[in-house]
Structure 1
Amino acid sequence: MLEIAGLSVRYGKHLALDDVALKVGRGEIVVMLGANGAGKSSLLKAVGGMVKREPGASIRLAGTELAGLPAHRIVGAGLALVPEGRGVFGELTVRENLALGAFPHRGRAAEADNFERVQNLFPRLRERLDQAVRTMSGGEQQMVAVGRALMSAPAILLLDEPSLGLSPLMCKELFQALARIRDDGTGVLLVEQNARQSLAIGDRGYLLEGGRVVGSGSAAALGADPAVRAAYLGVAHGEAA
């Protein structure tokens, strides 16, 4: 469904992404693993139209070329980005934040159904619809951020470090929700510091190093690879997880 090829991003003289190619299918969680500075956030921002891409990139969603489109048209085409730091509107209520997510035409067409879907995914939000988001916990704010993205009815959801700063309980709830989002047919491209939990719910994964894809495979195969376990799961070679 989402096919990326030849994606490069440059900040001045620094090449942050170099000829990246990857795919995300319908109803599939794809995990992007890499050290800090590998280019993971730049990848999501470039796909979402938030940073300039180098010429020659192709970003196709269900056969439609998105490269070169502004961010709002990319959202309208079916891609939604939840950035690191959430980007919620703290002075607005949960209900108002979610309503803003339904602004694209594809979101307005199914606003009532998506509103109910978000509340079913995150029952805490149902209880706090009229609460100002700034008064909520970090985990609850992350639920609002994901919920707002889902209100646009995306075919593909891009997530940048969604569990950052969350409690173990909130992390568990978040990853359970992501699995349900995948099972509902939405594709997910996930950048996440918690590699263990990401691979546990993921279908496939890519390894990003120095702005280049250096490996890929099923989530199970990556989780069992000694080099991946040592680099991202905190497990030494030969040591059981």
Structure 2
Amino acid sequence: MLEVERLSVHYARHVALRDVALQVRRGELVVMLGANGAGKSSLLKAIGGMVAPQPGARVRLGTHDLARMPAHRVVEAGLALVPEGRGLFGDLTVRENLRLGALPQRARKGESATFEQVLRLFPRLAERLSQPVRTMSGGEQQMVAIGRALMSAPDILLLDEPSLGLAPKTTKELFAALARVRELGIGILLVEQNAALSLAIADRGLLIENGRITGGGSARELRQDPAVRRAYLGAAH
């Protein structure tokens, strides 16, 4: 289980996060909802070792203390981050990008089985293994990015705005795949602009405002909450 306590992040004088606490269990999908600038991306980067938290933060995954651990060691401990923008190697093929995800020692023993699992999750990638990633659509690139993260054999997967810029049909396909990832026993912390779709597949949701967790509950409770409906779901929902 991922456990976060007293997590604060400062950028010079700007306070991005204040005393954030949360938990994500294996096989659980938790969505983080908040406006632009609320601190969602900073939270994922701090958990993933890309941004240093303030002293006193506690970030644990099982027996591993992730606070101030470099990003490559965080991955080795069992946590993978798919950042906004994906971070893929555009000139490399789908196969090469996926194989790069299996560099951690924890991933090597089961690399072949994980590779086949990724292709079952994203059948379209199986048809494009030799294609340079830069020539693919945004949705296909996002599948590669998630697949590469899964190749590291994570216990917890962090996703930052995976549907950003994608067509509605592709977004639905992607979220269906995330639901299947959860069924594999992998915990997911999802930052996502599409509140309706994310709450439809999530177990729980958290609300973040101005760098603080201000509320949360089961996905069903949040879908029915009038304030959440007004802020994130719109009149149509």
Whether TM-score is above 0.5 comes out as: yes
1:76-119 Cα offsets, whole Å, 9 max, x none, are 00000000011110000000000100000111121001100000
Q: Does 1:11 align with 2:11?
A: yes
Partner of 1:190: 190
1:33-63 Cα offsets, whole Å, 9 max, x none, are 0000000000000000001110000011013
Partner of 2:232: 232
Partner of 1:141: 141
In the alignment, the residues of structure 2 paired with residue 192 and residue 141 of structure 1 have an alpha-carbon distance, to the nearest angstrom, of 17
Q: Give SS of 1:131's match.
A: coil
Partner of 1:110: 110
Counterparts in 2 of 1:148-159, with a 5 A limit?
Answer: 148-159=148-159
Shift of 1:165: 0.5
In the alignment, the residues of structure 1 paired with residue 137 and residue 209 of structure 2 have an alpha-carbon distance, to the nearest angstrom, of 33
- The AA in structure 1 aligned to 2:62 is A
Identity of aligned residues (%): 70
TM-score under structure 1 length normalisation: 0.97
- The AA in structure 2 aligned to 1:154 is P
- The AA in structure 2 aligned to 1:54 is Q
Counterparts in 2 of 1:194-209, with a 5 A limit?
Answer: 194-209=194-209
Q: Does 1:180 align with 2:170?
A: no
Shift of 1:168: 1.0
1:64-86 Cα offsets, whole Å, 9 max, x none, are 21112100000000000000011
- The AA in structure 1 aligned to 2:51 is V
Q: Does 1:63 align with 2:50?
A: no
Q: How many residues align?
A: 237
Counterparts in 2 of 1:68-147, with a 5 A limit?
Answer: 68-147=68-147
In the alignment, the residues of structure 1 paired with residue 234 and residue 49 of structure 2 have an alpha-carbon distance, to the nearest angstrom, of 33
**Consecutive unaligned residues in structure 1, runs of 5 or more:** none
Partner of 2:48: 48
Shift of 1:218: 0.4
**Consecutive unaligned residues in structure 2, runs of 5 or more:** none
- The AA in structure 2 aligned to 1:76 is E
TM-score under structure 2 length normalisation: 0.99
Partner of 1:26: 26
- The AA in structure 2 aligned to 1:93 is T
In the alignment, the residues of structure 2 paired with residue 53 and residue 168 of structure 1 have an alpha-carbon distance, to the nearest angstrom, of 35
Q: Give SS of 1:124's match.
A: helix
In the alignment, the residues of structure 1 paired with residue 164 and residue 34 of structure 2 have an alpha-carbon distance, to the nearest angstrom, of 15
In the alignment, the residues of structure 1 paired with residue 205 and residue 22 of structure 2 have an alpha-carbon distance, to the nearest angstrom, of 10
In the alignment, the residues of structure 2 paired with residue 93 and residue 46 of structure 1 have an alpha-carbon distance, to the nearest angstrom, of 30
